[in-house]
Structure 1
Amino acid sequence: DKDGIAEQRFIFAQDLNQPFGMLIQDGHFYIGNTNALLRFEYTVGDTILKGTGKIILALPDTKPNRHWTKNIIPNKDGSKLYVAVGSSSNVAENGVNNEVRRACILEINPDGTGEKIYASGLRNPVGMAWAPGTNILWTAVNERDEIGDDLVPDYFTSVERDGFYGWPFAYFGENPDPRMKDNQNMVMVKKTIKPDVPVGSHTASLGITFYEKKAFPAKYQNGAFVTQHGSWNRSQLSGYKVIFVPFSGGKPSGAPEDFLTGFVAEPGKNDVYGRPVGITVLDDGSMLITDDTSNTIWRVASKS
């Protein structure tokens, strides 16, 4: 009845393998398992997916498969799909040969053919979205661990076709990773594109969406929201919130600012109420945010 509260609940799909990304397009429902992209027949209004789905693309799940999520997004005319694939490891400690087709965004046709690496050197890209009024893809990336509380910043960035963003050789521009000194590739360090917006170290920034509705105040229109799942290995917690990045003319126009907080109960005890993951905007301009610690879907709406 459109009151912002779910009326019914269904088991839509089951027997999956660490599913994450989902997409509805042209009579199909796509699911990104950790090891494959599945495509199901789908009719709007279905409350259950029938069958096991067709594997249209095998995806790498090489061990330890540290970054297992596989997100999916189409381009604006639906002629291409983009699949975000994180690295298997922290900083290629198991060898770069264990990272084939990983730490990248893949581009494919809707039937799974025509695979190309759209961009690489992205340690763990998760959320993806197109900036309003442009054909520029943006993503949120989880950067590397174990070189301090304040290194390396996660980031929110535009993504250039054939661009290289540093992993594992460099971070946030041409900054060589000191752990790669015996296997450093300075050619790749020099090729590294500096990301657009740092969003804090170890914040585990995941979901992104651009706000194109009118329900929120004008400052939010065409800007980006980023969910931060929160740190696990930092002496002081970071993340655990939703931030907003203002945009103007298709580009960031100001520093990130807090939008939704209150997920941390007691910072000194690492006690939290929730951890934001996914984010989307509904037709009425309200926003849904998933939280995989409290197992809650939060709705944020403007006061009428």
Structure 2
Amino acid sequence: MSILFTHIQPRQWLGRIVSAPLVSLLALLTTVMHFEVISTPALAIPAAASVETKLKVPNTMSYSPFNISRYLKVPPNFSISVYTRIPQARFMAVAPNGNLLVSQPSMGKVLIVRSNGSKDPIISNFVTGLHNPQDIVFHTINNTTYIYISESNQINRFIYKSGDITAQNRQVVVAGLLDSSTPELKGAYGHELKNIALDTNHKLYVSIASTCNACLADTVSNPRRGAIYQYNADGSNQRLFAQGLRNAEGLAFIPGTNELWVAVNNRDNIVYPFKDATNNYGKVIPSYVDNHPPEEFTRVRDGGNYGWPFCNPNPDTSNGPNYMPFDRDYQFNADGHVNCNAMDKIIKGIQAHSAPLGLTFLQNTNFPSLYSNGVVVGLHGSWNRQQKTGYKVAYFPWDRMKNLPGNQIDLVSGWVIAATQEIWGRPVDMVVDQQGNLLISDDYSGTIYKLSYTPPR
């Protein structure tokens, strides 16, 4: 709440204040001053995606799936276009000079994309020969800017100078991370790609996801999997930071804070855990699997445990997807030997099987101000739900007073056609460029989209 003081005439009332009795001072002020109280909402709710908009595609990029007209739903006053085509485009980062870096895990490369005026962007190799590169983070320490790039088996950093178009001065800061090449795993690692984040104290956080859908082996491995580890920025002093997070793909700090939030892919094919009149106890029931357990969007604290694989968040209560209680997992905790009440509750649930990947806070960016107090999550889309879900960019307005996300709305949707269930795109990650456009990667069609805002006249 803010208070504006108007209609103040200092020379008329200053002397009166000095000579007035103290008890009459407040009355005097309220007489000579007009108070205008303006309420500033802590949570502004912008418009959701509601306008079906034809995707703008340059002629040079109009090959499949853009060989026919495609449409996406966006909020009013937005447009969306194809910025460039990059096969298997995954995670992105905007360099300080505005260049775009894009990872291609399946091709072992990180590309650099440079704007070229009205022509197609210029794309070239920034670094090649990597082992499943995934996440990219710029971070400055003592006036030296680094680019951190995760591989499935290690974390690298490169010294960056403005204008670099190839990677320079590589250092391996964390070596020997487990992936499918690790002999003991015999090629079986379901979620081997690594995501990373760095805080303002120059601590590095690495998500070491589960090898499996749900299993006990990951909870007793060394290092523990389904977990997040913390290191110094140079890779020293590894320690377990949090656990019980099956596959935390999105890792991000609220801008200006050291508060870590994650987006988590939760488990599939969950067994019905209730002894009730349905007689479904211990069975895999598709209608139950469709909506359980929710994907997770939550704050992560030092020492936290978020339940997987012993405890599953339950959205079927009066709180809905907020601070959900846990149910015991039938396969691994039917007897309750793990206390689910001791687990850290998930702050926000997302529709089960949406497959959240990228997580980007919009504060301190040039994204339109109505939306910039919020966060976007790329929902890659389901593979095992009876009716497909996800295939969109979700937006959560941010409540500044509570420091919590509000209710999910769609920012961009339509990569799955509801009537036919045809999939033509799967969003992964989002970044805001220097002009305030939201760039969205899509590893299915091999595309970077540009979501742009035009203020109403």
TM-score normalized by the length of structure 1: 0.90
2:198 is aligned to 74
* CA–CA distance in structure 1, aligned partners of residues 245 and 118 of structure 2: 36
2:107 is aligned to none
2:357 is aligned to 206
What SS is found at the alignment partner of 2:249? strand
What SS is found at the alignment partner of 1:246? strand
1:87–1:99 CA contact under 8 A, matched in 2: no
Partner deviation per Cα, 1:134-186 (whole Å, 9 max, x = no partner):
43111100101102111110011111111100011111243111111478642
Are 1:195 and 2:360 matched, yes or no?
no
Are 1:258 and 2:399 matched, yes or no?
no
Q: Give identity over the alignment, percent.
A: 34
1:65 is aligned to 189
2:210–2:218 CA contact under 8 A, matched in 1: no
What SS is found at the alignment partner of 1:84? strand
Equivalenced residues, count: 300
1:297 is aligned to 448
One-letter amino acid of the structure 1 residue matched with residue 234 of structure 2: D
Deviates more, 1:122-131 or 1:170-179: 170-179
1:216 is aligned to 368
2:296 is aligned to 155
What SS is found at the alignment partner of 2:351? strand
TM-score normalized by the length of structure 2: 0.61
Q: What pairs with 1:129-168 in structure 2 (closer than 5 Å)? A: 129-147=252-270, 148-168=289-309
Structure 1 gap segments, 5+ residues each:
none
Partner deviation per Cα, 1:88-127 (whole Å, 9 max, x = no partner):
1111165643573311111111110011111110010011
Deviation at 1:19?
0.9
Structure 2 gap segments, 5+ residues each:
1-114, 271-288, 314-324
What SS is found at the alignment partner of 1:10? strand
1:16 is aligned to 130
1:34 is aligned to 152
Match of 1:279 among 400, 411, 430: 430
What SS is found at the alignment partner of 1:28? strand
Deviates more, 1:130-139 or 1:220-229: 130-139
One-letter amino acid of the structure 2 residue matched with residue 174 of structure 1: F
Match of 1:104 among 227, 243, 260: 227
* CA–CA distance in structure 2, aligned partners of residues 170 and 85 of structure 1: 19
Deviation at 1:24?
2.5
2:245–2:306 CA contact under 8 A, matched in 1: yes
Of structures 1 and 2, the larger Rg is shown by 2
* CA–CA distance in structure 2, aligned partners of residues 261 and 186 of structure 1: 39
Q: CA RMSD in A?
A: 2.4
One-letter amino acid of the structure 2 residue matched with residue 76 of structure 1: T
2:218–2:224 CA contact under 8 A, matched in 1: no
2:159–2:170 CA contact under 8 A, matched in 1: no
1:231 is aligned to 382
